[in-house]
Structure 1
Amino acid sequence: MRRLILLSLALTMCLCFGQAGEALSTDCKVMVRPTSGQARVVCLQVVGDGIVRVRATTANVLPDKRESLIIVPQTANPKCHISETNGTVSVKTARMQAVVSKQTGEVTFKDAKGETLLHESSGGKRFWSYRVPDREIGVDSNNVPESQRNGLSWQLVFDSPDDEAFYGLGQHQAHELNMKGKNEDLFQYNTKVSVPFVISNKHYGILWDTYSYCRFGMAEDYLQAGHVFRLYDKHGREGHLTGTYTDSNGQQIVRDEDSIYYEYACPPKSEIANRTDNGGTKNLPKGFKLDGAKVVYEGFIEAPKDDDYQFLLYYAGYVRVFIGGKEVVPEIWRTSWNPNSHKFSCRLPQGQRQQLRIEWRPDGGESYIGLRVARPRSQEARNQLSIWSEMSPDMDYYFIYGSTMDEVIGGYRTLTGRAPVYPKWALGFWQSRERYKTSQEIETTLAEFRRRHIPIDNIVQDWNYWPEDQWGSHRFETARYPDPQAMLDSVHRLHGRFMISVWPKFYCNTENYKELDKNGWMYHQSPTDDIHDWVGKGYKNSFYDAYSQGARKLFWKQMDDNLYSKFNNAKTMTAGIDAWWMDASEPNVRDCTPMWYRKALCGPTALGTSTEYFNAYSIVNADAIYNGQRSVWQGRPNEPRVFLLTRSGFAGLQRYSTATWSGDIGTRWEDMRAQMTAGMNYSLAGLPFWGMDQGGFSVERRYMAAQNVWNETGIENEDLKEWRELQTRWCQFGCFVPLFRTHGQWPYREPWNIAPDNHPAYKSILWYHRLRYRLMPYLYSMAGRVHTNHYTMMRALVMDFGTDRNVLDIKDQWMFGPSLMACPVGEYKARTRSIYLPKQTGWYDLYSGEYLAGGQHLTVEAPYERIPVYVPAGGIIPFGPEMEWTDEKPAELIQLYVYAGRDGWFTLYEDEGTNYNYEKGKCATIDIHYDDTARKITIGNRKGSFPGMLKSRRFNVVLVAKEAPKPLNMADPKGKMINYSGKEVSINL
Structure 2
Amino acid sequence: MPILDYKQLPEALVIEMGDGRMRIMPYNDKVIRIQYTKEADFSTKASMAVVGEPDAETSYNLEDRGDELVFLTAQLNIRINKQSGSFSYYDAGGCLLTSEPARGGKTLESVDVFKSVFDESSNLDTGQGADGLRVRAENIRKTFDRKAYRTKLEFEWADGEALYGLGSHEEGMFNLRGQHQYLYQQNMKAVVPILVSTRGYGIFLDSYSLIMFHDDAFGSYLSSEVDDELDYYFICGPEMDEIVSGVRFLTGKAPMLPKWALGYVQSKERYTSQEELVATVREYRERRLPLDCIVLDWKSWTGELWGQKTLDPDRFPEPVAMTEQLHAMNSRLMVSIWPIMNPESDNHKEMLQHDGLLGNRATYDAFQEKARRIYWKQANEGLFSNGVDAWWCDCTEPFEADWKGAVKPGPEERMIINSDEAKLYLDPELINAYSLLHSQGIYEGQRAESEDKRVVNLTRSAYAGQHRYGTVTWSGDISANWDTMRKQIPDGLNFCATGSPYWTLDIGGFFVQNKPDLWFWSGDYDDGVNDLGYRELYVRWFQYAAFLPMFRSHGTDTPREIWQFGNPGEPFHDALLTFLELRYKLMPYMYSLVSRIYRDDYTIMRALPFDFRMDAATYDVDDQFMFGPALLVNPVTRPMYYDVNSKPIEGSLKTRSVYLPLGSKWIDFWENRVYEGGQTLEAEAPLERIPLFVRSGSILPMKNGMQFADDRSDGRLYVRIYGGQSASFDYYEDEGDNYRYESGEYATISMDWNEETRMFTLGDRKGSYPGMPIQLDITILLHEPGADGHSITLADKPVNYVGKKHEIAF
TM-score by length of 1: 0.74
Matches within 5 A, 1:678-827: 678-701=491-514, 705-707=526-528, 710=530, 720-827=531-638
Matches within 5 A, 1:191-206: 191-206=188-203
Partners of 1:145 and 1:99 lie apart in 2 by: 43
User: Which letter maps to 2:158?
Assistant: P
Equivalent pair of 1:794/1:815 in contact (CA under 8 Å): yes
Structure 1 consecutive aligned stretches of length 4 or more whose deviation exceeds 4 Å: 133-146, 593-605, 701-705, 964-969
Partners of 1:689 and 1:890 lie apart in 2 by: 29
Three-state SS of the structure 2 residue aligned to 1:810 is coil
Three-state SS of the structure 1 residue aligned to 2:313 is coil
1:518 to 353, 361, 366: 353
- When structure 1 is superposed on structure 2, of 149-158 and 841-850 the one drifting more is 149-158
**How far apart are 1:950 and its partner, in Å?**
1.9
User: Which letter maps to 2:110?
Assistant: S
Partners of 2:84 and 2:403 lie apart in 1 by: 43
Matches within 5 A, 1:483-498: 483-498=318-333
Q: Structure 1 143/918 Cα, relative in aligned 2: closer, same or farther at 3 Å?
A: farther
Structure 2: 5+ residue runs without aligned partners?
A: 123-136, 405-413, 515-522, 641-652
**How far apart are 1:149 and its partner, in Å?**
3.6
**How far apart are 1:704 and its partner, in Å?**
5.8
2:441 to 615, 624, 635: 624
User: Which letter maps to 1:103?
Assistant: Q
Three-state SS of the structure 2 residue aligned to 1:127 is strand
Matches within 5 A, 1:115-514: 115-121=95-101, 122-133=103-114, 146=144, 148-217=145-214, 376-377=217-218, 381=219, 384=220, 386-514=221-349
Q: Structure 1 65/603 Cα, relative in aligned 2: closer, same or farther at 3 Å?
A: farther
Partners of 1:589 and 1:887 lie apart in 2 by: 40
Equivalent pair of 2:118/2:359 in contact (CA under 8 Å): no
Structure 1: 5+ residue runs without aligned partners?
A: 1-18, 219-309, 311-375, 528-541, 568-575, 711-719
Deviations 1:810-861 (A, max 9, x none): 0111000000001110101161101111121110000111101111111111
Partners of 2:740 and 2:164 lie apart in 1 by: 35
**How far apart are 1:651 and its partner, in Å?**
0.4
Deviations 1:381-414 (A, max 9, x none): 4xx4x10111110000000011311000000001
Deviations 1:297-323 (A, max 9, x none): xxxxxxxxxxxxx8xxxxxxxxxxxxx
**How far apart are 1:755 and its partner, in Å?**
2.1
Equivalent pair of 1:34/1:104 in contact (CA under 8 Å): no
User: Which letter maps to 2:579?
Assistant: Y
Three-state SS of the structure 1 residue aligned to 2:555 is coil
**How far apart are 1:891 and its partner, in Å?**
7.1
Deviations 1:498-548 (A, max 9, x none): 0000010111222322322233321224x6xxxxxxxxxxxxxx3111111
Q: Does 1:21 align with 2:1?
A: no
Query: Paired residue for 2:409?
Result: none
- When structure 1 is superposed on structure 2, of 902-911 and 771-780 the one drifting more is 902-911
| CA RMSD across the alignment | 2.4
Partners of 2:44 and 2:400 lie apart in 1 by: 28
**How far apart are 1:87 and its partner, in Å?**
3.4
Deviations 1:464-521 (A, max 9, x none): 1112221122121222222222221111111100000001011122232232223332
Partners of 2:419 and 2:355 lie apart in 1 by: 18
Q: Does 1:985 align with 2:806?
A: yes
Partners of 1:765 and 1:953 lie apart in 2 by: 31
- When structure 1 is superposed on structure 2, of 649-658 and 479-488 the one drifting more is 479-488
Query: Paired residue for 1:659?
Result: 472
Equivalent pair of 2:265/2:551 in contact (CA under 8 Å): yes
Q: Does 1:614 align with 2:597?
A: no
**How far apart are 1:88 and its partner, in Å?**
3.1
User: Which letter maps to 1:795?
Assistant: R
1:544 to 364, 368, 373: 364
- When structure 1 is superposed on structure 2, of 191-200 and 74-83 the one drifting more is 74-83
Partners of 2:598 and 2:792 lie apart in 1 by: 30
**How far apart are 1:986 and its partner, in Å?**
1.9
Partners of 2:210 and 2:185 lie apart in 1 by: 9
Q: Does 1:90 align with 2:73?
A: no
Larger Rg: 1
Query: Paired residue for 2:378?
Result: 558
TM-score by length of 2: 0.90
Partners of 1:657 and 1:908 lie apart in 2 by: 22
2:13 to 10, 25, 30: 30
Partners of 1:589 and 1:543 lie apart in 2 by: 13
**How far apart are 1:601 and its partner, in Å?**
4.8
User: Which letter maps to 1:129?
Assistant: S
Q: Structure 1 671/707 Cα, relative in aligned 2: closer, same or farther at 3 Å?
A: closer
Q: Does 1:896 align with 2:719?
A: yes
Q: Structure 1 967/440 Cα, relative in aligned 2: closer, same or farther at 3 Å?
A: farther
Query: Paired residue for 2:482?
Result: 669
Deviations 1:182-218 (A, max 9, x none): 1111111111111110000111100011000101116
User: Which letter maps to 1:611?
Assistant: P
User: Which letter maps to 1:788?
Assistant: R
2:92 to 86, 102, 112: 112
User: Which letter maps to 1:441?
Assistant: E
Query: Paired residue for 1:646?
Result: 459
Matches within 5 A, 1:35-54: 35=18, 39-54=19-34
Q: Does 1:69 align with 2:43?
A: no
- When structure 1 is superposed on structure 2, of 591-600 and 491-500 the one drifting more is 591-600
Partners of 1:552 and 1:481 lie apart in 2 by: 26
User: Which letter maps to 2:627?
Assistant: F
User: Which letter maps to 1:31?
Assistant: V
Three-state SS of the structure 2 residue aligned to 1:543 is coil
Query: Paired residue for 2:408?
Result: none
Equivalent pair of 2:107/2:153 in contact (CA under 8 Å): yes
Partners of 2:568 and 2:534 lie apart in 1 by: 16
Equivalent pair of 1:109/1:119 in contact (CA under 8 Å): yes
Query: Paired residue for 2:131?
Result: none
Three-state SS of the structure 2 residue aligned to 1:517 is helix
User: Which letter maps to 1:952?
Assistant: Q
Equivalent pair of 2:402/2:417 in contact (CA under 8 Å): no
**How far apart are 1:136 and its partner, in Å?**
10
2:768 to 945, 952, 961: 945
Q: Structure 1 95/705 Cα, relative in aligned 2: closer, same or farther at 3 Å?
A: closer
The percent of aligned pairs where both chains have the same amino acid is 36
User: Which letter maps to 1:872?
Assistant: R
2:392 to 581, 596, 599: 581
**How far apart are 1:881 and its partner, in Å?**
3.0
Query: Paired residue for 2:736?
Result: 913
Q: Structure 1 136/775 Cα, relative in aligned 2: closer, same or farther at 3 Å?
A: farther
Equivalent pair of 1:136/1:600 in contact (CA under 8 Å): no
Deviations 1:548-569 (A, max 9, x none): 111111111111122222x1xx
Partners of 2:21 and 2:607 lie apart in 1 by: 38
**How far apart are 1:583 and its partner, in Å?**
0.3
